[in-house]
Amino acid sequence: MEAHSLRDRLVNPKENIYFAFVALFSILSYIFLAFSIIGIVIILALVFFSLLFHGIMMGGIRRNGVRISESQFPEIYEKAVITAKEMGLNDLPDIYVIESEGVLNAFATRFFRRNMVVLYSGIFELVERGAEKEVLFVLAHEFAHLKRKHVIISLLLLPAMWIPFLGNAYLRACEFTCDRYAAYYIKSFEPSRDALTMLAIGKELYPKVNKQAYMEQLQTETGFFVWLNEKLSTHPHLPKRIYALSRFFAGESTVELKEPKGRVWLGVAGSVLSLTILSAGLWFGFKTLEKMDLWSETVMGIEGATALMNAASENDTDMIHTLLADGADIEERDADGTTALHWAVFNGQYDSASLLLESGADPNSADNYQTSPLMSAVFNEDIEMAILLLEYGADPDVQDAEGYTAYDYAKDFENIDLMDILQP
């Protein structure tokens, strides 16, 4: 395959496809947020905190990291200059090497119009072992992220990154593209595969790895959880990256490998079935608790609450009819001494209160604090409810534990309408 033909095909086709989806979703999300004050605040907060934390991190790297230059590791610097120029980058990104405690990684970033590549020392140390090509591959891979503007558009695509599978699928496609760019522009395929193998097993053992056997793990190490791990990751699995490079640059000599999907789909089906059963079980459990009258105790946290009280608070008159017909005690009290009528009045449920009063509920029942339903109606400034209670014999002169009547509270609230109907 000729060089210019390879260069024209460096971008992985899936990158452009996924980019269209994530860009559309993110733009629509920003438009939706921009139509509300809260949305605008969220956008500004995302931008501000992203810049703040990124700036703090990069400030530490710029001061503590070793910057590669003409006077600092000039040999690798010169080769980086050539690679960046051939790739079409107008200016060489600032390159920093930082201590990594053995971690093998690198990343590209941009801060206030400055492109930067950070290389972990675990990788950069390969320069001293004569493995400059492997180091150049890693650098070129990060240069490719800058060339393809993956870093610049990351903030634009932020909303899509929260969508399961979609955002990560785009990022994985970008990794395939950057692998191609890096291998092409360092003009060396084998060191490119070696660099990826190094990320898998470390810088000491990677030269001894049988790469064909490693790639064949795509066929032998399979299953639902293997598949799910990759789908939730921002990077493709390393055997797949090595295989993709081999197919692209040495397709004729690379044995075709296929990932078995049978167990994957069985796992997907099993997971969906398990989630369905779990959801059904939770729903059945909640309904059972509710019927056992434990719902209010365990979920609402109100000790002694009855099904009749719950029905009154939710204005479920059909349930009230049913419970009363089944012999529910209309004057049963919870731990606070309140009855179903108290619950109906407190929650402003006029229909429930009316039905309970018609069914013989005591309008003057008092809770542990000697608070009557009429006082609760005054607390809510619910005139219609107060009138209903008075019609059924509520006594406005009843005093609570503090010695106050419903009229006294209406006076405190300066509610003239309530004061008129409660006038002694």
pLDDT bucket at 163, cuts 50 / 70 / 90: confident
The helix/strand/coil state of 357 is: helix
- Mind listing the pLDDT tens digit for each residue in 258-316? 887 665 566 566 666 666 777 777 766 665 555 544 444 444 445 678 899 889 889 99
Structure confidence at residue 10 (pLDDT): 93
Confidence check: pLDDT of 138 > 90: yes
Confidence check: pLDDT of 31 > 50: yes
Measured distance CA(307)–CA(291) in Å, rounded: 8
**What is the DSSP pairing of strand 114-120 with strand 94-98?**
parallel
- Mind listing the pLDDT tens digit for each residue in 322-336? 999 999 899 999 888
Q: Within 13 Å, how many C-alpha atoms sit on residue 412's CB side?
A: 10
Measured distance CA(346)–CA(336) in Å, rounded: 13
Q: What percent of the chain shows pLDDT beyond 90?
A: 42
Q: What would the two tokens of residue 382 be? A: 């619910």
Structure confidence at residue 211 (pLDDT): 93
Structure confidence at residue 362 (pLDDT): 93
Structure confidence at residue 1 (pLDDT): 46
H or E stretch including 83? helix 74-87
Token pair 């009557």 is at which residue? 372
Structure confidence at residue 295 (pLDDT): 41
Are the C-beta atoms of residues 324 and 359 closer than 8 Å to each other? yes
DSSP 96: E
Q: Can you give the pTM of this predicted structure?
A: 0.62
Structure confidence at residue 269 (pLDDT): 67
The answer to whether the Cα torsion of 232, 234, 236, 238 is positive or negative is negative
- Please report which residue ranges of 292-367 form alpha helices under DSSP H: 295-298, 307-313, 317-325, 340-346, 350-358
**Mean pLDDT value across the chain:** 85
For residue 321, the cross-strand partners are none
Measured distance CA(31)–CA(40) in Å, rounded: 10
- Please report which residue ranges of 314-413 form alpha helices under DSSP H: 317-325, 340-346, 350-358, 373-379, 383-391, 406-412
Structure confidence at residue 176 (pLDDT): 95
Structure confidence at residue 409 (pLDDT): 87
Measured distance CA(138)–CA(143) in Å, rounded: 9
Q: Which of 171, 110, 107 has its CA nearest to residue 141? A: 107
Are the C-beta atoms of residues 405 and 397 closer than 8 Å to each other? yes
Higher pLDDT, 61 or 111: 61
Measured distance CA(412)–CA(393) in Å, rounded: 23
Confidence check: pLDDT of 171 > 90: yes
- Mind listing the pLDDT tens digit for each residue in 203-256? 899 999 999 999 999 999 988 888 889 999 999 999 999 999 999 998 888 888
Are the C-beta atoms of residues 242 and 197 closer than 8 Å to each other? yes
Q: Which of 200, 191, 61, 64 has its CA nearest to residue 139? A: 191
Residue 404 CA, chain-centre distance (Å), reads 52
Confidence check: pLDDT of 40 > 80: no
Q: Which of 78-87, 93-102, 271-280, 407-416 has the lowest mean pLDDT?
A: 271-280
- What are the boundaries of each domain within the chain? 3-210, 300-422
Structure confidence at residue 36 (pLDDT): 75
Measured distance CA(386)–CA(394) in Å, rounded: 9
H or E stretch including 111? strand 106-111
The answer to whether the Cα torsion of 94, 95, 99, 103 is positive or negative is positive
Are the C-beta atoms of residues 94 and 116 closer than 8 Å to each other? yes
Strand order in the sheet with 66-67: 66-67, 94-98, 114-120, 106-111
Are the C-beta atoms of residues 176 and 236 closer than 8 Å to each other? yes
Name the CATH superfamily, with its identifier, for domain 300-422: Ankyrin repeat-containing domain (1.25.40.20)
pLDDT bucket at 188, cuts 50 / 70 / 90: confident
